[in-house]
Amino acid sequence: MRFGTIGTGNITRQWIAASALGNLELAAVYSRYQEKGEKFASEYGDVRVYTDLEAFLSDTQIEAVYIASPNHLHFDQARRALLHGKHVIVEKPFVPTLNECKTLMALALEKGCMLFEAVPNVFQPALRTIQENLPKLGKLCLVTCHLTQYSSRYDAFLKGEVPNVFNPRMAGGALMDLGVYEIHFMCALFGKPEKIQYHPNLAANGIDVSGILNLSYPSFQASLVVGKDCHSENFCLIEGDEGYLKVDGSVSLLPEIILNGKTILTSPLVNPLNEEAKAIGQCLEEKRVDWMKHWWEATWMVTEVLEEARRSGNLPF
Ligand X SMILES: NC(=O)c1ccc[n+]([C@@H]2O[C@H](COP(=O)([O-])OP(=O)(O)OC[C@H]3O[C@@H](n4cnc5c(N)ncnc54)[C@H](OP(=O)(O)O)[C@@H]3O)[C@@H](O)[C@H]2O)c1
Which three-class secondary structure state does DSSP give residue 65? strand
Single out the segment in contact with ligand X by CB under 6 A; choices: 67-75, 241-249, 263-271, 284-292.
67-75
Contacts of 257 (CB under 8 A, 6+ apart): 126, 129, 130, 133, 245, 246, 247, 248, 263, 264, 265, 266
The distance of closest approach from Cβ of residue 27 to ligand X in the complex, given in angstroms and rounded to an integer, is 17
With CB under 6 A as the contact rule, the residue among 68, 183, 226, 292 that binds ligand X is 68
Cβ 18 to ligand X shortest distance, Å: 10
* Interatomic CA distance for residues 224 and 236, integer angstroms: 9
The helix or strand, by DSSP H or E, that contains position 38, with its residue range, turns out to be: helix 34-41
Structure-derived torsion over alpha carbons of residues 258, 91, 270, 41, reported in degrees to the nearest 10: -170
Q: Least Å distance between CB 31 and ligand X?
A: 3
Q: Should residue 31 be labelled a site residue for ligand X when binding is judged by CB under 6 A?
A: yes
Applying CB under 6 A, does 199 fall inside the site for ligand X?
Answer: no
Provide the 10 A C-beta neighbour count for residue 297. Answer: 11
**Strands lying side by side in the sheet with 262-266:** 195-202, 208-217, 220-227, 140-148, 235-240, 244-248, 256-259, 262-266
Nearest residue relative to ligand X (C-beta):
9
Please say which residue, 8 or 210, places its beta carbon nearer to ligand X.
8
User: Contact between 7 and ligand X (CB under 6 A)?
Assistant: yes
Q: How far is the CB of 164 from ligand X (least distance, A)?
A: 3
CA distance 116 to 42: 27
Among 13, 36, 48, 288, binds ligand X (CB under 6 A): 36
- Least distance from C-beta 157 to ligand X, angstroms? 13
In the complex, least distance from residue 272 CB atom to ligand X, rounded to whole angstroms: 6
Is residue 92 within the footprint of ligand X (CB under 6 A)?
A: yes
Site residues for ligand X per CB under 6 A: 7-9, 11, 31-33, 36, 68-71, 73, 91-92, 118, 120, 164, 177
